Chain A
Amino acid sequence: MSLFEEMQQAIIDGKAPVVKELTQKALSEGIKPADIFPKAIVPAMDEVGRRMRDCEFFIPEVLIAARAARAATDILRPLLVGDAAARPAGTVVCCTVKGDLHDIGKNIVAMMLESAGFRIIDLGADVSAEKIVDAVRAHDANLVAMSALLTTTMVNMKSVIEALAAAGLREKVKVMVGGAPVTESWARSIGADGYGKDAPAAVDLARSLAAA
């Protein structure tokens, strides 16, 4: 088993200390930090997404895998600053919308997007439209990912899109939405660019929106 394969397996198994050790070993062997993402972390988390989609993995398994992936990214990120070969796939401002404290779905999407090479600006839960607009501007984001678990709070997604438009940012960012009561038709009706029915779908969507 190659070092990259070992790392992938350790991430999938959620073994954060092993991932940390293997990351340090890879670096000590002269492997470029920018190579570890596409050869170990991204394929591992893609496999985690597949297992989640196929109901082989549930939330605890996804969370421990994401935590293991983060053990690698925490070491690698500082080494990648200024490395043109390691430009993020995009910058995503993510949050749960105003009035909604449910954040586990948003957290999983954020962790999987991060592992897929996106730069994540996680604003947390119960986030106002103004804060989202400010974060898009401050971090030069090209994606906004919003979650809501309640039918009462999903309406706030529309306010965010209107606020982005009022701030002159709507053409600059793609907006993706998700959460239990959210539907494809709701996403279309509020002018969002896409709807992700689960975390793996959100990663696929972010990739396609960032490439558009």
Chain B
Amino acid sequence: MSGRERVIAMLDGKAVDCLPVMPITMMFAVDQIGKKYYEYATDYHVLADAQVLTAETFDFDHVSAIAETREAPDCGAVVEYFDDQPPSVVESRALLADKSSLARLEIPDPLAGPRMHDRIKGIALLKERAGGGKVVEGWIEGPCGASADLRGINTLMLDFYDDPSFIRDVFGYTVEVGLRFARTQISAGADIIGIGDPAASLVSRKIYEEFVWPYEKRLVDGLHELGARVRLHICGNTRHILQGMGSLGCDIVDLDSAAPLDEARAAMGPDQVLLGNIDPVRDLRDGTPESVYAAMAECHRQAGPRFIVGAGCEVPRDTPAANVHALVCYAHEHAP
């Protein structure tokens, strides 16, 4: 089976020859081609070169357009770029420091905004170069993460108590931005849309269910209506919101390492495809090929057959190639 066939079959509940493997790579990928992260973030040719070479070298089943937020800068947020690490939104100059500015924000056209357009072109190139044999993954920000990018995460966390109606307004806005961006990514060739919603792990289950979940659900349903499959990744400790994450209807729930896969399986039921989730730093980067292989075996044991191999979050820069090979080797040597 090609990687593409393997992933699609797993998501469709059909037989596969071995476990699919879909780790997140960004800085690790750009290091494979000897370029700086600034180039990866700003030039889709570099992103595509890095993703394709990394996926071929390590025999991943997907290529991905994942990178830092493209929505926030095209909405008007100030982003600081660094030479060789991911850009960051500048919170001290947050776009929505004044909440009333939200009423004046428009939904950016992904083909007009330079940062979103770069990703669209990257997806088209990934599709052209790798789409025959590998799944092409697009990426958007989830409502909590995207809103944190616009409002500032420190302030947004206070808004949950200070101004709940603003939370609903800004989450609603970011879902519209995300769906419009995703629609164009799907047209460009994305098979799967990843949703990154890192800030969602910072709130209580009560806040997650009351404020975050309804907008994540709206996003997931909208992506399905557009014909895409959906991968959800929430960085950090999600143990308290596993049940909610499992009821969104995502095709893949990609878990960070703080959430044990057996807890996720118990919370989400036998049919949910889980992805993950060895500790990217302690197990993958700092481990040995033998310990990586053993850690993946434990993840597989906990997750059961509906499982895709990956790390809990991005494969860190400086991870030994032998450790990444060991992770893939586990997938190749095991059927679900």
A64 touches B158 (CB 8 A): yes
State which of B85-93, B105-113, B266-274, B292-300 sits at the interface with chain A. Answer: B85-93
Q: SS class of chain A's interface: helix, strand, loop or mixed? A: loop
Is there contact, CB below 8 Å, between A63 and B240?
A: no
Q: Which of B154-193 contact A (CB under 8 A)?
A: 154, 157-158, 160-161
Give Cα A71–Cα B153 distance, bound, in whole angstroms: 21
- B204 interface hit (Cβ, 8 Å): yes
Partner of B318, one of A55, A59, A102, A151: A151
A104 at the interface (CB under 8 A from B): yes
Contact B154–A55 (Cβ < 8 Å): no
* B240: A residues at CB distance < 8 A: 55, 58
Considering only CB atoms, which chain A residue lies closest to B203 in the complex?
A: A58
B154 and A151 contact, CB distance less than 8 A:
no
Of residues A14, A59, A153, which shows the largest number of chain B Cβ atoms within 10 Å of its Cβ?
A59
Contact residues in B for A181 (Cβ distance below 8 Å): 280-281, 316
Contact of A101 among B91, B158, B286 (CB under 8 A): B91
On whether A101 and B90 interact (CB within 8 A), knowing A59-B203, A181-B281, the answer reads: yes
Given A59-B157, A63-B157, A183-B282, the answer on whether A101 and B204 have CB atoms closer than 8 Å is no
With a cutoff of 8 Å between Cβ atoms, the chain B residues found around residue A99 in the complex are 82, 85
Q: Is A60 in contact with B88, judged by CB distance below 8 angstroms?
A: no
Contact of B202 (CB < 8 Å), options: A59, A67, A100, A152: A59
Contact size class for A? 20 to 34
Find chain B residues with CB under 8 A from A153 CB. Answer: 85
Range of interface residues on B (Cβ < 8 Å): 20 to 34
- Contact of B317 with A by CB under 8 A: yes
Is there an interface contact between B82 and A151, defined as CB atoms closer than 8 Å?
no
A102 to B318 alpha-carbon distance, docked (Å):
21
A46 interface residue (CB < 8 Å to B):
no
Do the beta carbons of A58 and B202 come within 8 Å of each other? yes
Known: A58-B204, A151-B316, A181-B316. A14 touches B91 (CB 8 A): no
Asked if B80 is an interface residue, CB under 8 A from chain A, the answer is yes
**Do B80 and A60 touch across chains, with their CB atoms under 8 A apart?**
no
Asked whether A151 lies within 8 Å of B158 as measured between CB atoms, the reply is: no
Q: How far is the CA of A144 from the CA of B27 in the complex (A)?
A: 29
Residues A151 and B281 in contact, CB atoms below 8 Å apart: yes
> 7 other contacts beyond A101-B80, A150-B85, with CB at 8 A cut-off?
A58-B240, A101-B88, A104-B202, A150-B86, A152-B85, A153-B85, A181-B281
Q: Can you list 7 A-B pairs, Cβ within 8 angstroms, ordered by A?
A: A60-B160, A99-B85, A151-B27, A151-B285, A153-B85, A181-B316, A185-B286
